[in-house]
Amino acid sequence: PALSPVENAQEYFRRYAKARDAARQVPALLAALDLEQAYLDHIAVLLETATTVEDLRALAADLSWRPGVPTTPTKKKSARPAPLRPVVEVDGCAIYVGRSNQQNARLTFDLAGPDDLWFHARGVPGAHVVLRAGGRPVTPRALTVAAGLAAYYSQARGESRVAVDYTLRKHVRRLPDAPPGLVTYSGEKTLLVRPLAPDDLQALSPAS
């Protein structure tokens, strides 16, 4: 049956309100998709540099993450995350590299102290790298090694020189409602370094 003028107006308003409400949700949906894409980009980069079974297991845990679903700790002792260990010690400084998004989050927010140094390749997906000096002066060589590892474990590792930002860990913040390992930071300085591959570490003092 034909609608009256009043009913037509009500129907048009209903459609308008529905479209308006949907449009209001678009920015939030796009932001959520951007975060999820960034998370997957980090997984892809870290997968390309995975060299051990432990690396692959850590990345498999990343793939179990879903938007809006909190991570539930497992009761199986065998499934607990492996302890984070330094990949190398340089001039008394221990240097750690996150090998998955969840390891990045643990390294930055659980292991690192507020005054430890945090590194990340500028503007590209990659690993979090933390340098712990334990109160010792940080030498230029230690800074360069940590930055070189951050460059290698990033999307830019194929470049001859990579810009790597570093800052105190206390200046690194989680992104609200973001997947594990996605952060923002401030107070950074930047080094331009050559990517440092794992084989290059053999010339350095081994981690204890």
Residue 58 has pLDDT above 90, yes or no: no
Inter-residue contact 128 to 173 (CB < 8 Å):
no
Of the two residues 55 and 130, the one the predictor is more confident about is 130
From the list 159, 149, 96, the residue with the least C-alpha distance to 126 is 149
pTM of the model: 0.73
- Residues in Cβ contact with 62 at an 8 Å cutoff, skipping those fewer than 6 apart: 39, 43, 46, 100, 101, 102, 180
Q: What is the mean pLDDT of the chain?
A: 82
Inter-residue contact 185 to 118 (CB < 8 Å):
yes
Inter-residue contact 173 to 183 (CB < 8 Å):
yes
pLDDT above 90 as % of the chain: 48
What is the amino acid identity at position 83? P
- Residues in Cβ contact with 201 at an 8 Å cutoff, skipping those fewer than 6 apart: 87, 88
CB atoms within 10 A of CB 40: 15
Cα-flanking dihedrals φ and ψ of residue 203, to 5°?
-85, -5
Of the two residues 162 and 50, the one the predictor is more confident about is 162
The residue whose two tokens read 């474990």 is 153
pLDDT of residue 27: 67
Helix ranges, the chain (H): 5-48, 53-63, 101-106, 140-152
Residue 76 has pLDDT above 60, yes or no: no
Section 111-123 average pLDDT: 97
pLDDT band at 77 (very low <50, low <70, confident <90, very high): very low
Section 185-189 average pLDDT: 97
User: Model confidence over 150-178: pLDDT tens digits?
Assistant: 999 999 999 999 999 999 999 999 988 78
Residue 75 has pLDDT above 90, yes or no: no
Of the two residues 192 and 33, the one the predictor is more confident about is 192
108-117 in b/e form (b: 16+ CB < 10 A) is bbebbeeebb
**Is the CA virtual torsion 169, 134, 191, 58 positive or negative?**
negative
Residue 65 has pLDDT above 80, yes or no: no
Tokens at residue 116, please?
Answer: 């430890």
Residue 208 has pLDDT above 80, yes or no: no
